[in-house]
Structure 1
Amino acid sequence: MSSVKDTIPRRDYQSELDGIRALALIIVLIYHTGFELFSGGYLGVDVFFVLSGYLITNIVISQFDNKKFDYADFFERRARRIFPALYIVLLVSTIPAWFLLVPPDMVSFVNSQSSAAAFLSNIFFWRESNYFDTSSELKPLLHTWSLGVEFQFYLIYPIYIGLAYRLFPKYIFQTTAFLFLMSLALSHWGAMVKPTPNYYLLPTRAWELLYGALVALWHIKHRDRKDFTISKSKADLITLIGLLLVITPVFYFTTETPFPSAYALIPTTGTALIIIFSKHASIFYKVLTLKPLTYLGLVSYSAYLWHQPIYAFIRQLEDYLSGIGVWVAAFFSTIILASLTYHLIENPFRSRSKISTRSFYSTTATALVGLFGFSIFTNTTNGFENRFHLPENLQAQYELPTSDNGWCFYSIDTNRELPLGAAGTQCSIGKKQGFEYQGLLVGDSTAGHFEPFWDEVGEQINAKISSITTNWCYPSLTDNFTWSKDTPAFDQCLFNRQYVKEHAKDFDFIVLSGLWMQLKSENRLSEVDELLNYLIKDLNKKVIIMAQAPMFDRVSILKSIYMQHNPKIIDKDIDAQEINKNFNLLADNNTNLYFITREELFADNSQDIPKLTREGLPYSLDGIHLSIYGSVKAAETFLGNHRQSNLEKFISEQIIN
Structure 2
Amino acid sequence: MGILLGIMKYRSDISGLRALAVVPVVVFHFNEAWLPGGFVGVDIFFVISGYLITAILAGDLAQGRFSLLRFYDRRLRRIVPAFAAVALVTALVSLFILPPVLLSGFGASLRAASIFFANRYFLSVTHYFGAAPDEVFLLHTWSLSVEEQFYLGWPLLLAALFHPRLKRWLPHIVGTLILVSLFVATRNAVQRPVTAFYNSNGRFWELMLGAWLALGYVPRLNRIWAEVAAAVGLALIVATLVLFDPSRIIFPGLSALVPTLGAALLLWSGEEGRRTLVGRILSFAPIAGIGLISYSLYLWHWPIIAIHRYLTFRTPTPLECVLLFAVMIAVSAFSWRFIENPFRHTVRVPTRRMEWRGVATGVAMLALLVGIGTLFTATGGLPARATAGFLKSEAIVNTFWRGREACLLGRTSDRERDCRFGASAPDAPLFVLWGDSQADQHGPGLDRVAREVGMSFLQLTRTGCAPLAPETGGGALQSRETIDCNAFRAEALKRIIEDPKVRFAVIAGRWTNEPALGPAMARLKAAVDQITAAGKPVLLAAPIGAFANGGGRCIVRRGFMGLDDAMCGLSRITSDAQAQPTEDALRAIAANTPGVTLFVPRPLFCDETACHPRKDDVPLYFDGDHLNVEGSLFLAPAWRSALEKAAAAVSRPGS
Give the TM bin, normalised by the shorter chain: 0.7 to 0.9
2:261 to 269, 275, 279: 269
Shift of 1:438: 2.2
Mapping of residues 255-266 of structure 1, within 5 Å: 255-256=246-247, 257-266=249-258
Q: Aligned pair 1:621/2:619, yes or no?
A: no
Residue 384 of structure 1 is matched in structure 2 by 382
CA displacement at 1:187 relative to structure 2: 1.6
Deviation at 1:410, TM superposition (A): 2.1
Counterpart-to-counterpart distance in 1, 2:511 and 2:399: 19
Q: Select the structure with the greater relative contact order (CA < 8 A; seq sep ≥ 6).
A: 2
C-alpha displacement of 1:396: 4.4
Cα offset for 1:555? Answer: 4.1
Query: CA offsets per residue over residues 42-99 of structure 1, 9 Å max, x none?
Result: 0111111111111011111001101111112111111111011111111110122223
Q: 8 Å contact 1:516–1:576 — kept in the other structure?
A: no
Aligned residues of 1:458 and 1:465 also touching (Cα < 8 A): yes
Q: C-alpha separation between the residues in 2 aligned to 1:424 and 1:148?
A: 41
Q: SS at the partner of 2:34? A: helix
**Structure 1's 178 and 201: CA in aligned 2 closer, same or farther, altered over 3 A?**
same
Of 298, 306, 312, the residue aligned with 2:300 is 306
Of 52, 55, 61, the residue aligned with 1:55 is 52
> Residue by residue, what CA displacement relative to the aligned partner does 1:478-528 show, whole Å, maximum 9, x if unpaired?
3799x9636998699479537625754322221111112113548544332
C-alpha distance in 2 between matches for 1:648 and 1:16: 70
- SS of corresponding position for 2:216: helix
Structure 1 SS opposite 2:597 = strand
The one-character-per-residue Cα deviations of 1:131-156 (angstroms, maximum 9, x if unpaired) are 11233355321111111111111111
Residue 163 of structure 1 pairs with residue 160 of structure 2: yes
Look up the match of 1:113: 110
Q: Which residue of 2 aligns with 1:225?
A: none
SS at 2:141's partner residue?
helix
Letter in 2 for 1:512: I
TM-score for the superposition, normalised by structure 2: 0.87
TM normalised by structure 1 equals 0.87
1:401 and 2:413 are equivalent in the alignment? no
For 2:314 and 2:486, how far apart are their aligned partners in 1? 44
Q: Is the 8 A contact 1:85 1:345 kept in 2?
A: yes
* Aligned counterpart, 1:126: 123
Task: Determine whether 1:580 maps to 2:583.
Answer: yes
Corresponding letter in the other structure for 1:625 = H
Q: 1:245 aligns with which of 236, 252, 259?
A: 236
Conserved? CA contact 1:542–1:655, under 8 Å: no
Distance 1:443 1:169 in 2: 58
Indicate the SS of the match to 1:218: coil
Q: How far off its partner does 1:100 sit?
A: 2.6
Aligned counterparts, 1:7-86, within 5 A: 12-86=9-83
Letter in 2 for 1:581: D
Pair 1:411–1:122, CA change in 2 (3 A): farther
Distance between the aligned counterparts of 2:634 and 2:31, measured in 1? 36
1:125-204 matches, cutoff 5 A = 125-166=122-163, 167-204=165-202
Q: Once the two structures are superposed, what CA deviation does each residue of 1:385-419 show, in whole Å capped at 9, x if it has no partner?
A: 4444446665544335343xxx4652574x8xx34
Out of 551-560 and 185-194, give the one that drifted further.
551-560
Select the residue among 406, 410, 417 that pairs with 2:406.
Answer: 410
The answer on 1:92 being equivalent to 2:83 is no
1:514 equivalent in structure 2: 509
Distance 1:391 1:105, change over 3 A: closer
Paired residues of 1:50 and 1:210 also in contact (CA < 8 A): yes
Aligned length: 628
Secondary structure of the 2:131 match is coil
Q: Answer yes or no: is the 8 Å Cα contact 1:613–1:633 preserved in 2.
A: no
User: Which deviations, in whole Å up to 9, do the C-alpha atoms of 1:229-275 show, x marking residues without a partner?
Assistant: 623x5533431221111111111101121111111111111111111
1:596 corresponds to 2:568: no
| CA displacement, residues 180-223 of structure 1 (integer Å, 9 cap, x when unaligned) | 1222222222211122121112211111111111111227x86x
| 8 A Cα contact 1:517 1:576, kept in partner | no
Query: What's the % identity of the aligned pairs?
Result: 26
The separation in 1 between residues aligned to 2:462 and 2:579, in whole angstroms, is 21
Deviation at 1:12, TM superposition (A): 1.6
Tell whether the 8 Å contact from 1:470 to 1:489 is kept in structure 2 after alignment.
no
Q: In structure 1, how many angstroms separate the alpha carbons of the residues matched to 2:93 and 2:407?
A: 32
Task: Work out whether residues 432 and 504 of structure 2, in 8 Å CA contact, stay in contact via their aligned partners in 1.
Answer: yes
Structure 2 distance, partners of 1:383, 1:427, is: 32
Map Cα deviations across residues 601-657 of structure 1 (whole Å, 9 max, x no partner): 435xx5666314432344210112100011111224x27xx8458636744551415
Q: What does 1:473-512 correspond to in 2, within 5 Å?
A: 473-476=465-468, 478=470, 485=480, 493=488, 497=492, 500=495, 504-512=499-507
Amino acid at match of 1:528: L
- CA contact 1:545–1:593 (8 Å) conserved in 2: yes
Q: 1:646 to 1:423 in 2, by over 3 A?
A: closer
Paired residues of 1:541 and 1:655 also in contact (CA < 8 A): no
Q: Distance in 2 between matches of 1:370 and 1:303?
A: 23
Compared with structure 1, are the counterparts of its residues 376 and 576 closer, same or farther at alpha carbon in structure 2 (3 Å cutoff)?
Answer: farther
* CA shift for structure 1 position 282: 4.1
CA gap of 1:142–1:391, structure 2 versus 1, over 3 A, is: closer
Change (3 A) 1:381 1:495: farther
* Residue equivalent to 1:342: 336
Shift of 1:328: 0.6
Partner in structure 2 of residue 315 of structure 1 = 309
The one-letter code sitting in structure 2 at the alignment partner of 1:430 is G
Equivalent-residue separation in structure 2 for 1:59 and 1:442 (angstroms): 58
Query: Which of 537, 543, 547 pairs up with 1:542?
Result: 537
Deviation at 1:120, TM superposition (A): 0.7
The runs of 5 or more residues in structure 2 that have no matched partner are: 1-5
Offset from partner CA, 1:295-333 (integer Å, 9 cap, x none): 211111011000000010011122699421211111111
RMSD: 3.2
Residues 607 and 485 of structure 1: is their aligned pair in 2 closer, same or farther, counting only changes over 3 Å? farther
Select the residue among 280, 285, 289 that pairs with 1:295: 289
- Tell me, in whole angstroms, the C-alpha distance in 2 between the residues paired with 1:80 and 1:298: 16
Amino acid aligned to 1:602: F
Q: Which moved more, 1:465-474 or 1:444-453?
A: 465-474
Offset of residue 569 of structure 1? 4.8
